[in-house]
Structure 1
Amino acid sequence: MIVSALLTSVGINSGLCVLFFTLYSILRKQPGNSYVYIPRHTHVEKEIERSTHFLQRLIPTPTWVRTAWKLSEEELLSTSGLDAVVFIRIITFSLKIFLFTGALGLFVLLPIHASGTQVATFVVADIPSVTLDLFTITNVNSGSKWLWAHCVSVYLVTGFVCFLLYHEYDYICSKRVAYFYSSKPRPRQFTILVRGIPVRPGSSISKSVDSFFMKYYPSTYLSHAVIHRTDSRWHRVEVRSAFVFFRSRYGAAIASQLQQSENPTEWVTEKAPDPDDVYWPFFQSSFLKRWLLKVVIILTYILVTILFLLPVLLVQGLTNLSQLEVFFPFLQDILSMKYVRQTVTGYLPNLILLLFLLLIPPVMEFLASIQGHFSQSTIQRSACSKFLWFMIWNIFFANVLSGSVFTQLSELLDLKNVPSKLAVSVPAQASFFIAYVVTSGWTSTSSDLFRIIQLIQSLLQKCCCCSSENNDDEYEAPYIRYHKEIPKILFFGLLGITYFFLAPLMLPFLLVYFSLAYIIFKNQFINVYSPKFETAGKFWPNVHNSMIFSLLLMHSIALGIFTLKKLQMGSTLMIPLPVMTLLFNEYCRKRFLPNFLAYSVENLIKRDSKDANDHEMPQFFDQLITAYKDPALSPDQLSNTDGLRFANHSDNLTDSLLLSI
């Protein structure tokens, strides 16, 4: 891609960002739009609408930017929970990394690339027509001593990223403990979920649960609630699962961790989610059915990954117009036009890829939902991992390998040549990924601020309904889709770490994206997103693992680059880096990860002792017994009925999938 094509993409996306910001600043002040742009504060917004002058509503103002910037971490924690704090810290963590790598890449490495002559000689007057390869490591002459700057930079960035990872892991661990001590008692802390309950002839599930836990947990067992389901005729059925309540967090934690029976498929216990986090479908799934579902999910995931290669190949065809003209010679006249050529190569490929990619998060969420998880938060975390690795393979590796290396699969299968192949193909795709950051990063994030789909829905509702005002009691503020946003941030982090020494020109575009994301998402947490569940920061281990993978990928590419550039000592010096990184990761896994899986005995007993003197705890235990409202027990309520219908639909779909296998 030439510079002018990239500038075309940057210009189009910058214009869209400015348009979205301007429209948002105006529309958020218009009467009736509070349900679109300020759903968390609709009552307050109505007062603002009445007091704002008509002309002031038509002038875009940046006051919301200042408000979002000033939002403190403690304020965010009190209004949106620890998950929101961790999400914003993922963004600030990325900003810290790319401020450091940006200074290193732009002021040290980029001049070295431009001064090389391997591809061409840099001439200021010819910038619009030169290829972006001129600003990558490809242009550095083989054997050049300036390559040592890249070797040192890789070491510096690896150390800096590991330092930040350790600091963040430690900080979020401490925030989890502080959040645990400061928050009110939650039902999930005193509750476990029991599945595979054996029932003797003449007995019932309720009697079996009571008998078992009164026998083995006499001092901590409180009560239980058997889970029901409804059949197609709305008859309640016996599901062999129950929520079991305890008098202490410690008692619930012990019961959830131990194997209860010699037969591991009976009396299966696990931590229960909060009542509003429960995902009711699949409580009736048997052990065999859940195991088969995992096989179905793996096969479906592979199928979706393979099918997504089709738009990737289409996109790569648009970035390589010479190949496109060979297959479609009738397009030569159109593609010979300067601005058409720049738009097709600079903007259109990433727009097509972005549109196809919008379909993937719902698919990943569906696959996670039929995996047998019993909480929406666990489904989101599972979908987050699936979508992240889908992006790494289909957006990064598939685009990298769909060039010349894609036609040489026999060579690619030789694992010894992987670093060399990546060293050749990854720098060649730098311009494509810069344009991808601009389109999928800048414009997509700004469009989330504008909320065009929700705006259109609101306008249609006003036109179709007699009343122009929604009922505040019936309106529910949306929640952020972590499984969609976190993988995008981590993928951009992978691009930045991988390309900082290959193509430093990418770093300013990443910094703009993370700056936009920091302001926009803080604003959305203030005004739009309402927390639906709370994992207390359990998404962070995904972030840590992704960054470790990014470092290892960078090391592999650096090893291949220095080999190709005939800097043998540099290649040798790259070998210890992945070893040290893996050792660091293992240390963090042993030191911090257990704190994200469960709270320690020390934490649990301290909190139980503190609550022993709380006069509100008896009332809490009374409410705990009825906290988990089974939808099958109230089929006359519309919301619960919809949930049951979805549950039955999910089971039917699951059975169809199993039959197809």
Structure 2
Amino acid sequence: MNLSALLFSAGVNTVVCVVCFSLYSVFRKQPSLVDVYFSQNLSHVRLKRYDPFCRFVPSPSWIVKAWETSDEEITSIGGLDALVFVRTIVFSLRVFSIASIMCIFVVLPLNYFGQEVEHTQFFRAESLDHFTIDNVKEGSEWLWVHCLTLYIITCAACILLYVEFKNITAMRLGYITSCASNPSYFTILVRGIPRSPEESYSDSVTKFFTNYYAPSYLSHQILYRAGSVQKLATDSEKMYMILKSSSMKQHCESRLFRCGLCGISSPFTMLSPDPEIQKGKSGFDSELRKKECGAALVFFKTRYAAFVASQGLQSANPMLWTTDPAPEPEDMYWSNICVPYQHLWIRKIAMHVASVCFVIFFLVPVSLTQGLVHLGKLQKTFPSLRGPLRRRYIVQLVTGYLPSVVLVLFSYLVPPIMMFFSTMECSISRSGRKKSACYKIMYFMIWNVFFAQTISGSVIDGWGAIGHLSENLKDMPTLLATAIPATATFFITYVITSGWVTLATELMQPAGLLYNFVYRTFLKNKDSSYGNVNFPYHTELPRILLLGLLGFTFSILAPLILPALIIYFGLAYFVYRNQILNVYSTQYQTGGLYWLLVHNVTIFSLVLMQLIALTVFGLKESTVASSSTVPLIICTLLFNQYCRQRFHPVFLSNPAQVLVDMDRQDEESGKMKEIHQKVTSAYCQFNGTSFKLGDPVPPNPNVDGEIPGLQPTSEDDIKPAPRPTLRSHHTSFEIEDFEIEELHKPK
């Protein structure tokens, strides 16, 4: 590929981004699209001023708003996970800014003039290989500059990574102490409860924990197979409506649907001692016991007692009475909890095998994209391709733009499949399921988008590479060292396409636009809302980390990738902050656990960069540069080990010291009894028994059965308001032509 093809790809993607950004600044002002672009903090909209001309003129006000928002506001709105995501972008932007200064102004000229060859008079017709380290002649004395640049990039990355790790660890501790009344601190999840023919699971739990944890045990809540119990609860409603007398209807109806499933006594205890009614009650309880699963939520009197119980081995048989810290009530993934604990290891092995098979299947589109990149070499092998591809602009389109587009389109299949695999692994929390999918997608991208692309490119260069590699696996570093600079052109266009255009797509929210269009145009429903959408960490974070890996790997090998990355991370900073503020809601979070993935991938990227540079220096016969790289690898690994010892444990479990201090404060202030009441009623397994974030709020009886709504100032201001939802924060601010007002969450 030559420079003109790269510029063509950059030009096409730039036009797409400018058009999408301009359309977004117009669409966000339209009253009919407020539900799409302000769904995170929208309860109702009142038109403050009406200016038809301004509504259709693009403006950068959303960029200013994203810039002015502080990290504290980001944390209060999106949680600690959102701040970790933003800090990852800031970290990448700082590191690659330093790398760009060194590589563009120092390394790039050395690569371009590395050999005494006559360059073309037309700069745009230059091959991109002239800008890579391949153009440096063997035994060059200037390779020490590349090694020095490698040291500067590594030191800058480690220093910035340490600072971010230290700050996020402090934020993690602040997050733990700020949620002092969090029910999950007092709760553990018990699975593998042994079945007994004489007693129910509930009796077994009571007997076990009163025997071994008598001073700290508070109560428990047995879990049920969701589908069966939901049907059973519906059947009990019908039975109760037949048995109860009309005089008791008003007294008992409000407690009908609880049925004792959430730690509350059964409504049948409120009935008269009619034999038929008591017979119905005993029959219901008998059926209910049959639907119990071997899992329970156990509540303790103190946080420290729950912590100790969740960390210890409860039985001589590790498959029985297994304990884990309970997720937060909104974070519980109920459908996975009742899967027998003995089956979990089988499911995990099966999902790992399925993931490997999916990776192998994905090699087909990877080979297709590399075939388009190396079109000239394929034309020599297949002469029939020369006819249709004679025109230069078609070749530029096929080689400079189409390969990365094909790979991006195929990549859209990955997140839902990996999310399905993570669900089948039976994670007990929604955040854990998303975090597991995030790790799977990250591994998938590192292998398929980076290594497989590189190896397939070398195979196209020399069709016998696979056979040679199978004969001697020790040639893998050499293969990567020779193939990675050769595939630099593809990865530069991949950064432009996968980075720039996906940001524009993220900003435009095409799914929300389609949803809004269908409901308003075909279903004639103008009051429908797109709903609360959680931030897609499992798709966005792996993309950012993958582009960071490409930046580290190609920084000294092909410095032209760095300007594209700087533009991407600069745009990503504003786009994602805007989306966190306006679009995505926060119903659950991991408390900053995504930073562990960021740290691990960054260290892996640094070591990979150093290993490839070491091999390249060896191939270039530079003994000084290659020998100087070895201490850098050792120091990077030692730095990683220090961070794992210093910071990682805080993310893996809550410190006992912090938990004991919170227990003492609550006991001294007399709040512990109130907290116990909230803890035992916080977890509800079935819909309709409690409210969760995002669930519709029922009418408030204190306001005569009416929900507070829009107070129009004129007929032009009227817009029906959707029903408010429970959210984790309250804000009131102005946007362009609208004023957003939040309704207060009912007590």
Could you tell me the TM-score, scaled by structure 2's length? 0.82
> Aligned to 2:330, which of 276, 280, 300?
276
1:299-318 correspondence to structure 2 within 5 Å: 299-318=353-372
Q: Say which of 52, 59, 62 aligns to 1:61.
A: 59
1:431 aligns with 2:427: no
Q: Distance in 2 between matches of 1:614 and 1:334?
A: 81
Offset from partner CA, 1:507-546 (integer Å, 9 cap, x none): 0100100011100000001100111212110011111110
TM-fit CA distance, 1:462: 0.6
Name the amino acid aligned to 1:246: F
Residue by residue over 1:456-504, the C-alpha shift from the partner in whole angstroms, topping out at 9 and shown as x without a partner, is: 1101101133331226xxx632111111111111101100111110011
**Partner of residue 654 from structure 2, selected from 587, 592, 599:** 599
Equivalent residues of 1:230, 1:632 under 8 A apart: no
Instruction: Supply the distance in 2 between the matched residues of 1:544 and 1:166 (Cα, whole angstroms).
Output: 9
Q: 2:184 aligns with which of 167, 184, 188?
A: 188
In 2, Cα distance between equivalents of 1:319 and 1:508? 21
- The yes-or-no answer on 1:574 pairing with 2:632 is no
**Aligned pair in 2 of structure 1 residues 485, 230: CA closer, same or farther (>3 Å)?**
closer
Partner of 2:263: none
Secondary structure in 2 aligned to 1:336? coil
Q: Is the 8 A contact 2:191 2:341 kept in 1?
A: no
Following superposition of structure 1 onto structure 2, how do residues 113-262 of structure 1 map, counting pairs within 5 Å? 113-117=111-115, 120-123=117-120, 125-230=121-226, 234-235=231-232, 237-262=291-316
User: CA separation in 2, counterparts of 1:189 and 1:100?
Assistant: 42
Q: Distance in 1 between matches of 2:333 and 2:368?
A: 38
In 2: Cα distance, 1:201 partner to 1:423 partner: 65
Q: Among 421, 441, 445, which residue is 2:503 paired with?
A: 445
RMSD over equivalenced CA pairs, Å: 2.0
Find the partner of 2:465 among 368, 383, 408.
Answer: 408
Amino acid at match of 1:455: L
Contact 1:228–1:632, Cα closer than 8 Å, also in 2 = no
Compared CA separation, residues 553 and 454, structure 1 to 2 (3 A): same
Q: Distance in 2 between matches of 1:437 and 1:443?
A: 9
Does structure 2 conserve the Cα–Cα contact (< 8 Å) formed by 1:282 and 1:372? yes
**Is 1:385 matched up with 2:383?**
no
Separation in 2, partners of 1:626, 1:155: 56
After superposition, where does 1:11-160 map in structure 2 within 5 Å?
Answer: 11-43=11-43, 46-47=45-46, 49-117=47-115, 120-123=117-120, 125-160=121-156
Q: Percent identity?
A: 41
State how far apart, in whole Å, the 1-side matches of 2:114 and 2:203 are: 80
Matched residue of 1:270: which SS?
strand
1:420 counterpart letter in structure 2:
T
For 2:415 and 2:145, how far apart are their aligned partners in 1?
A: 40
Say if 1:309 and 1:398, in contact at 8 Å, map to a contact too: yes
The residue identity in structure 2 corresponding to 1:107 is: F
The aligned residue for residue 643 of structure 2 is 588
Count of matched residue pairs: 631
Match of residue 582 from structure 2: 527
* Map of 2:258 onto structure 1: none
SS at match of 2:387: helix
Is the 1:114–1:122 Cα contact (8 Å) retained in structure 2? no
Residue ranges of structure 1 left out of the alignment (5+ in a row): 641-661
What CA distance in whole angstroms lies between the structure 1 residues aligned with 2:179 and 2:524? 43
Q: Give the TM-score taking structure 1 as reference length.
A: 0.92
555-564 vs 198-207, which moves further: 198-207
Q: Which residue of 2 aligns with 1:458?
A: 516
Q: Deviation per CA, 1:138-173, whole angstroms, max 9, x where unpaired?
A: 111211111110011112212221122222111111
Q: Counterpart of 1:262 in 2: which secondary structure?
A: coil
8 Å contact kept, 1:421–1:560:
no
Unaligned runs of 5+ in 2: 233-287, 696-747
- How far did residue 609 of structure 1 move? 1.7
1: CA distance, partners of 2:187 / 2:570: 41
Given the superposition, is the C-alpha separation of residues 384 and 586 from structure 1 closer, same or farther in structure 2, using an over 3 Å criterion? Answer: same
C-alpha change, 1:270 and 1:164, in structure 2 (3 Å) is: same
CA distance in 1: counterparts of 2:501 and 2:634, whole angstroms: 38
1:543 maps to which residue? Answer: 598
Q: How far apart, CA to CA, are the structure 1 residues paired with 2:553 and 2:365?
A: 24
Aligned to 1:659: none
For residues 274 and 513 of structure 1, what CA distance do their matches in structure 2 show? Answer: 35
Distance, in Å, in 2 between the alignment partners of 1:590 and 1:416 is 33
Instruction: Give the CA deviation at 1:327.
Output: 6.4
Q: Residue in 2 aligned with 1:373?
A: 427
- Is contact 1:9-1:346 (8 Å) kept? yes
TM-superposed CA distance for 1:329, in Å, is 4.5
- Cα offset, 1:199, TM superposition: 3.8
Instruction: Give the Å deviation of 1:386.
Output: 0.8
